[in-house]
Structure 1
Amino acid sequence: MARNKKNADGRYRYRVYIGKDANGAKRFKSFYGSTEREAKAAAAEYRAALGKGLDPEQSKATLGKLYDDLIAVKKAKGIGQKSLDRYADNRDNWGELKDMPAGELKAADFQKALNRLADWHDGKPPLSHFTLTNLRSSAKAAYDLAIPEIVLYNPITKVACPAGAPAEPREPITEEQQQWIRETPHRAQRAAMLLLYSGLRRGEATALTWADVDLDDATITVSKGYNFGGKKTKTTKTPAGTRVVSIPKVLVEYLKTQQDGCLYVLHNPKGERMTEQGWKQLWKSYMCDLNVKYGYDGKQNKNRPGGLPMVIDTFTPHQLRHTFCTLMYFAGVDVLTARDQMGHKDISVTLGIYTALDKKFKKKKINRLDAYLKKQSVG
């Protein structure tokens, strides 16, 4: 470590030898400070990091490169393509920061970027708090992976996540779509009926065995889920996820017709547990068949050249879970019971759904009262 004279701008500089370049010339990295002690401390910290494995050749690696390294590790661990795409989206959401050297970015840079994304900018709406939190978490993971080979420390730990826009509520499917599920035979019908009338998460439904289903008592015992990335059974998402779900008669009667001797309630044509890709293919086929039947009155071929345009409102498996909670609201099920049925860790999640429904449907009830009073006054 070599000391240099005080610079013309008043700062002190210390240099650290980091090896030779391709031509054999010595290479140094400079550190600055307003005092000798400050510059020397910064240089000492860097030198210590070299001893722990910091690679000077990668010291200019960009934030985007850190994300690419993280994505490579996640892919090697077998996480799904949807999650990999989310990491890529997070990388791109940082805008110009992704092309800057990660080791030179400070907490203030990330804070400024998050604050900007939490508000209207360049004609784009603000991101939700959930998305912003996910963005911050992914950057933290990217930096953690890069220490100490590429960066010295993680600036994200000092960054606060702004509120952002309220998360958009997941809309339940309509009564007409519920009827489609009940009346349309398809290999996915069993999955759709199960999710719609039990509120199970997709991973919970994938791990469900017939031994967990008591049709006499009209209950389903949820004690495990399935990790699609790791391809293994896991404990439920939260301790609250372990529960006994009471199911309605419509599901009981349907499941009585579905017992097929397989271990799993939901399975592929070979009787094996559903995979991530299996779910995607199954659901795509399901939406295509519903589109033919209810969008084209069964008069078109879904396999026609170029594909058949989707004219119905499609829905996702998770929407069916949300719809189950909505059905409990309309049935007058109290929020505590609904929380237990859904397996929500925090009752505020259930309350959020119930409160949103209150705001939406109580207004309609008041409108009916207005119409009734107006009719009375006319009479």
Structure 2
Amino acid sequence: MDNASEQRNYTTFWVGLASLTLEVVFIMAKSRVKKRPDGRYAMQIYLGTVDGKRKYKTVYGGTPKEVQKKADEVRILMGKGIDISAQRDTFKEWGNHWLKIKKAIVSSAHYKTCEQKLRIINCYIGDMPISQIKTANVQNIIFDLSSLNRWTGKPTAKRTLVEYRSVCRQVFQLAIENRIIDYNPASSVKIVSNQLKKERRALSVEEQGWIINTPHRAQKAAMIMMFAGLRRGEVIPLTWNDIDFEAGTIRVNKSVFKEGTRFNIKSGAKTESGNRVVNIPQILIDFLKLQPKDTILVCPDTKDVMMTETSWRRMWDSYIKDLNIKYGDLNGKRSKYDPKGVPITIPRITPHWLRHTFCTLLYLSGTDVLTAKEQMGHSDIKTTLGIYTHLDKEHKRNAVSKLNEYIETHASHMQVKNS
């Protein structure tokens, strides 16, 4: 190496060292606690360079000690690889990122559910920086919705609260994976529901007779739910082509999802296991054979098209009123022509009660739990086991009750004699 080259390298080294020294001095100067005109203290923390420009994070406090503590917390996060410069990103921004991912991997019905729940969550924390959201903020959402959901006017069901928490968890998890935050505020949120538990029971033998013996436009749907266990969302799009009278089966391969007050058909049942072939009893086969088949749908509305939420509700309300007039205890009650209406004195039978009745009939007929799961279209056998276990306990209680009645009836002949 000649003297000229050696001199150039020597000069380059010292220029670089001087530049680095100035950088360090500059950063150290910025990193000092300074008092502001408003009385607060502040410190700028060097984050690095982006596109050749220095980036800083400013922390504030009432005392130098408080500022230093906040600065230390920022440096700890930097040490974990957290992107400090993106911590002003709001929950809504990351919620939108999450929705884009969801849209590509879930059904349109599921996507709309996610979108609706995220919209409500955004009303609470959407504009907050995601890095500043604490567990208490998310917990307050759950508490608020469980007390009174302002969008529905009633307490939110426990299952729905779990779904809200799940949406929050997934959005926070996406931010964690992108090094925006280092923990998930929704992970330890507790679910407490104030909604009264809905009564879900099977129809009694007498009530089953009401369904069988009361002609009405809703009777077809009721019979199918009671003797085939279909969900409401599976009955509405059911076609006559789905029913095989020779084999005695109903093929469930589609369902509906709500969009406003309208139902849209989606390919496939509610869950993957909901796609099934249900074996139906002769009483349902005989009933369906007698029904007119001049429409594609088995249970259309009055205009022979698929029902909406409104048309279903009107039909079902009319059905309950007819059952009430025929079987209710209306002695001394108002006339059916009274503009105030007839008071409902019978249990308000729901589609889920009818489906639960089918599961009960499977249990009483000795159908094993695995077959029952397949016939019901449950995604988890625990659901079927839960119903079967409850029915088993109820059956045993009834058996003991009958035993007690028998003993009391024959007590005079069963006296224990002292030896």
TM-score normalised over the length of structure 2: 0.63
Structure 2 distance, partners of 1:231, 1:130, is: 23
Deviation digits for residues 125-181 of structure 1 (CA, Å, limit 9, x no counterpart) = x99763541341354578799x8xxxx769756414657689766222333322221
8 Å contact from structure 1 (residues 220, 244) kept in 2 = yes
Structure 1 distance, partners of 2:77, 2:284, is: 66
Structure 1 residue 262, shift from structure 2 partner: 1.0
Structure 1 distance, partners of 2:302, 2:407, is: 59
2:276 alignment partner, one of 201, 225, 243: 243
Structure 1 distance, partners of 2:186, 2:334, is: 60
Structure 1 residue 355, shift from structure 2 partner: 0.6
Tell me the amino acid that sits aligned with residue 287 of structure 2: Y
The change in CA–CA distance for 1:293 and 1:242 in structure 2 (over 3 A counts) is same
1:277 aligns to what SS in structure 2? helix
Partner of 1:22: none
The change in CA–CA distance for 1:349 and 1:174 in structure 2 (over 3 A counts) is same
- Does 2:74 match 1:39? yes
Unaligned runs of 5+ in 1: 17-27, 71-76, 119-125
1:171 aligns to what SS in structure 2? coil
Count of residues in Structure 1 that have an aligned counterpart in Structure 2: 335
- Does 2:387 match 1:353? yes
Structure 2 distance, partners of 1:311, 1:326, is: 24
Partner of 2:166: 137
Partner of 1:183: 213
Structure 1 residue 99, shift from structure 2 partner: 11
8 Å contact from structure 2 (residues 162, 191) kept in 1 = no
Partner of 2:245: 215
Pick 1 or 2: higher relative contact order, CA cutoff 8 A, min separation 6: 1
Partner of 2:336: 301
8 Å contact from structure 2 (residues 145, 156) kept in 1 = yes
Structure 2 distance, partners of 1:366, 1:142, is: 52
Structure 1 residue 192, shift from structure 2 partner: 0.8
Tell me the amino acid that sits aligned with residue 236 of structure 1: A
2:299 aligns to what SS in structure 1? coil
Deviation digits for residues 221-270 of structure 1 (CA, Å, limit 9, x no counterpart) = 11222223372322122222121111111111110111322111111122
Tell me the amino acid that sits aligned with residue 277 of structure 1: T
- Does 2:86 match 1:48? yes
RMSD: 4.9
The change in CA–CA distance for 1:277 and 1:128 in structure 2 (over 3 A counts) is closer
2:165 aligns to what SS in structure 1? helix
Tell me the amino acid that sits aligned with residue 215 of structure 2: P
Structure 2 distance, partners of 1:281, 1:335, is: 36
Partner of 1:24: none
Deviation digits for residues 52-73 of structure 1 (CA, Å, limit 9, x no counterpart) = xx4xxxx6x99xxx9xxx9xxx
- Does 2:400 match 1:366? yes
TM-score normalised over the length of structure 1: 0.69
1:226 aligns to what SS in structure 2? strand
Partner of 1:261: 294
8 Å contact from structure 1 (residues 207, 226) kept in 2 = yes
Structure 2 distance, partners of 1:343, 1:236, is: 9
1:106 alignment partner, one of 134, 157, 168: 134
Partner of 2:357: 323
Structure 2 distance, partners of 1:135, 1:156, is: 14
8 Å contact from structure 2 (residues 172, 185) kept in 1 = no
1:231 aligns to what SS in structure 2? strand
Unaligned runs of 5+ in 2: 1-26, 36-40, 47-56, 61-66, 100-106, 147-154, 414-419
Structure 2 distance, partners of 1:237, 1:160, is: 29
The change in CA–CA distance for 1:366 and 1:100 in structure 2 (over 3 A counts) is farther
8 Å contact from structure 1 (residues 106, 155) kept in 2 = no
8 Å contact from structure 1 (residues 110, 159) kept in 2 = no
Partner of 1:196: 226
Comparing 229-238 with 329-338, which one deviates more in the overlay? 229-238
Structure 1 distance, partners of 2:315, 2:245, is: 26
Q: Sequence identity, in percent? A: 34
Structure 2 distance, partners of 1:117, 1:274, is: 30
- Which structure has the bigger radius of gyration? 2
Tell me the amino acid that sits aligned with residue 133 of structure 2: L
The change in CA–CA distance for 1:102 and 1:265 in structure 2 (over 3 A counts) is farther
8 Å contact from structure 2 (residues 334, 341) kept in 1 = no
Deviation digits for residues 54-104 of structure 1 (CA, Å, limit 9, x no counterpart) = 4xxxx6x99xxx9xxx9xxxxxx9989xx89x959x86xx9xx77995754
The change in CA–CA distance for 1:79 and 1:334 in structure 2 (over 3 A counts) is closer
Structure 1 residue 205, shift from structure 2 partner: 1.3
1:137 aligns to what SS in structure 2? helix
- Does 2:314 match 1:285? no
Structure 2 distance, partners of 1:240, 1:315, is: 26
The change in CA–CA distance for 1:116 and 1:206 in structure 2 (over 3 A counts) is closer
Structure 2 distance, partners of 1:270, 1:112, is: 46
Comparing 350-359 with 30-39, which one deviates more in the overlay? 30-39
Structure 2 distance, partners of 1:130, 1:3, is: 51
2:267 alignment partner, one of 227, 231, 234: 234
